[in-house]
Amino acid sequence: MTDPSANTGGIATCSMTIMLNGESRALDVYPWTTLLDLLREQLDLTGTKKGCDHGQCGACTVLLNGKRINACLTLAIMHEDAELTTIEGLASDEALHPMQAAFVTHDAFQCGYCTPGQICSAVGMVAEGRAQSADEIREQMSGNLCRCGAYPNILAAIEAAMPETRNRVGVFESGAPSGGHDGVREVKP
């Protein structure tokens, strides 16, 4: 793990807090630490994967304020007080999240490396509420590459888990389900 006290040429770490998987965390981060490296290297939350580090594969997908994003292309320091949900925060103590369970049942992965990103992305997609048909799910899951090629099973898992995921409360309490944005003034035409 990165030693946050390491000397870096005069630029010190910054203190910040983030709500991570329902828990408030006080952190010291360098400005250049991406959200992904914060999770993987500093907090040992390695469920969020680094597949390309350039927003080209989706393996690092997490839910930031309820919305799916690539953790590799954003700086940790930019998310003071944000709510972050990673794959480690989806299951409750007793049970897998319905999307996780459906991925197991439908064998929606092989090697498992893209899987946390696929699942977070799928949960985010359901919350967006824009994918209704199989083709829409395919299109809206296209930001998550699966080199093993488990796409048909991923589709099947998502279709199966969609109703229960939609009804699930808790994970998205702070995230706007669609259209809105914190601070965006909705105009009623």
Closest CA to 119 of 171, 186, 52, 42: 171
Is residue 27 close enough to count as binding other proteins by CB under 8 A? no
Q: Which of residues 75-104 bind other proteins (CB under 8 A)?
A: 75, 77-78, 86-88, 90-91, 96, 100-101, 103-104
Q: Which of residues 34-53 bind other proteins (CB under 8 A)?
A: 34, 37, 40-41, 44-53
Nearest approach, Cβ of residue 127 and other proteins (Å): 11
Is residue 138 close enough to count as binding other proteins by CB under 8 A? yes
Nearest approach, Cβ of residue 65 and other proteins (Å): 10
Q: Using the rule CB under 8 A, which residue among 15, 147, 166, 174 binds other proteins?
A: 147
What does the alpha-carbon distance between residue 155 and residue 29 come to, in Å, rounded to a whole number? 37
What does the alpha-carbon distance between residue 159 and residue 146 come to, in Å, rounded to a whole number? 18
Report how many residues bind other proteins under the rule CB under 8 A.
102
> Please, what is the end-to-end C-alpha distance for the chain in angstroms?
51
5 or 167: whose CB is closer to other proteins? 5
Nearest approach, Cβ of residue 121 and other proteins (Å): 7
- Which two three-digit tokens encode residue 43? 């907090």
Is residue 183 close enough to count as binding other proteins by CB under 8 A? yes
Residue with tokens 């993987």: 40
Residue 12 has what DSSP assignment?
Answer: P
Q: Which of residues 103-122 bind other proteins (CB under 8 A)?
A: 103-105, 107, 109-116, 119, 121
Residues 109-122 as b or e (16 or more Cβ within 10 Å = b): beeebbbbbbbbbb
170 — alpha (psi -120 to 50), left (phi > 0) or beta? left
Is residue 6 close enough to count as binding other proteins by CB under 8 A? yes
Is residue 165 close enough to count as binding other proteins by CB under 8 A? no
